[in-house]
Amino acid sequence: MSEISVRSPGASAAGAAGVVGGSRPAGVRSAGAFLVRDLTLLRRNTASLISTFIVPGLFMVCLYAVFGHAADTIGLDYATFLFAGCLVQAALFTGAASCMAVAVDLDSGLIDRIRIYPRSTAGYLLGRMATDMVRMGLSSLAVIAVARACGMDVAASRVLSACLWGLLVALVWGVLTTGLVLVAGHPVERADLIQTLEMLLVLFSTTFIPAASLSGALKNVVIHMPLSPVIEVTRSVLAAPGSAGSASRATWTEALCWLAGMLLVGLTLSVHALRRRRTR
């Protein structure tokens, strides 16, 4: 879902000014200032609020209404099954919205301007990640409410564990997409492309359908796409220990490898882009 961040010169100026003064370390002051700024922009951005609170839950309602009865006939708890997929989908929406916000700040010149302040670039990125965690937490609450309404009956401790896993996925995806935007010649266009492609990535996975129902030559491709093992781990966390829904060690390993690879690529691209900007 395409989102354009609200440009707010006043909020930008406040965020930049917040990196100086005070008794706390510069990095902490900077991160706190940018967190306040980013949350203010999020609150003012209608598209972001819709994709935070409404879109993931709306996907779940629509899919459960269409496929829920059919899933019940084969003994599949589709509400719980779908919750895991929608939780990871919300994580992707969070990361993509974050990279769009970074792209707008690049285009406006904010990121170049804040480099004159001590540790401001690190503070900007930390504030951005903290904002992503807040947004993902709010999205998770919305999806949980819809899932409970659809009949999901899972212990709160396992739901909390799944949400923590979702926060990790959102963080990693945000780092990757931010890195891809930072090295782009046209950041906003790159962010738009990421938001388009991530929806295809969601559909070409086991987000909404069980792997057992797949057939044909593409089955092995789909179950090994980046999102599929990550979502299967989410479902494993929701399942009772030792139950049929528990993911194998190979699935856990594959999911962690995908996340580690994304994190490494994102960090490498971000460091390269920021170093290149310093030498200009």
**pTM reported for the whole predicted model:** 0.86
Q: Is residue 79 part of a domain?
A: yes
Residue labelled with tokens 């492609």: 197
Crossing angle of the two packed helices 9-17 and 120-149, in degrees rounded to 10: 120
* Residues 123, 35: Cα–Cα separation, whole Å: 9
Find the DSSP H helices in the chain: 9-17, 26-44, 46-53, 55-73, 78-108, 110-113, 120-149, 156-182, 187-203, 219-223, 227-238, 249-278
- 165-176 tens-digit pLDDT: 999 999 999 999
Q: Is residue 87 part of a domain?
A: yes
* Residues 92, 96: Cα–Cα separation, whole Å: 6
The pLDDT assigned to 17 comes to 41
- Report yes or no: 245 and 236 within 8 Å, Cβ to Cβ: yes
* Residues 205, 77: Cα–Cα separation, whole Å: 19
Name the pLDDT band for 243 (thresholds 50, 70, 90): low
Question: Whole domain around residue 68: which residue ranges?
Answer: 26-277
Q: Is residue 272 part of a domain?
A: yes
- Torsional sign, CA 83, 125, 193, 12: positive
Tell me what percent of the residues of the chain surpass a pLDDT of 70: 86
Helix, strand or coil, per DSSP, at residue 158 = helix
pLDDT of residue 7 exceeding 50, the answer is no
Name the pLDDT band for 112 (thresholds 50, 70, 90): confident
Position 3: which residue type? Answer: E
Residue labelled with tokens 């990871």: 88
Rg value, the chain, Cα: 20
Name the pLDDT band for 187 (thresholds 50, 70, 90): very high
pLDDT of residue 232 exceeding 60, the answer is yes
- 34-46 tens-digit pLDDT: 899 999 998 898 8
List the structure tokens of 101.
Answer: 């916000």
Q: Is residue 18 part of a domain?
A: no
Q: Is residue 124 part of a domain?
A: yes
The total domain count for the chain is 1
Short-list 203, 214, 248, 244, CA closest to 76: 244
Helix, strand or coil, per DSSP, at residue 164 = helix
Crossing angle of the two packed helices 78-108 and 156-182, in degrees rounded to 10: 30
The secondary structure of residue 209, as a DSSP letter, is S
Name the pLDDT band for 23 (thresholds 50, 70, 90): very low
Q: Is residue 57 part of a domain?
A: yes
pLDDT of residue 13 exceeding 60, the answer is no
Tell me what percent of the residues of the chain surpass a pLDDT of 90: 54
Q: Is residue 39 part of a domain?
A: yes
Q: Is residue 69 part of a domain?
A: yes
- 50-82 tens-digit pLDDT: 988 899 899 999 999 999 888 888 888 999 999
First to last CA, the chain: 34
Short-list 126, 120, 125, CA closest to 19: 120
Mean pLDDT score across all residues of the chain = 85
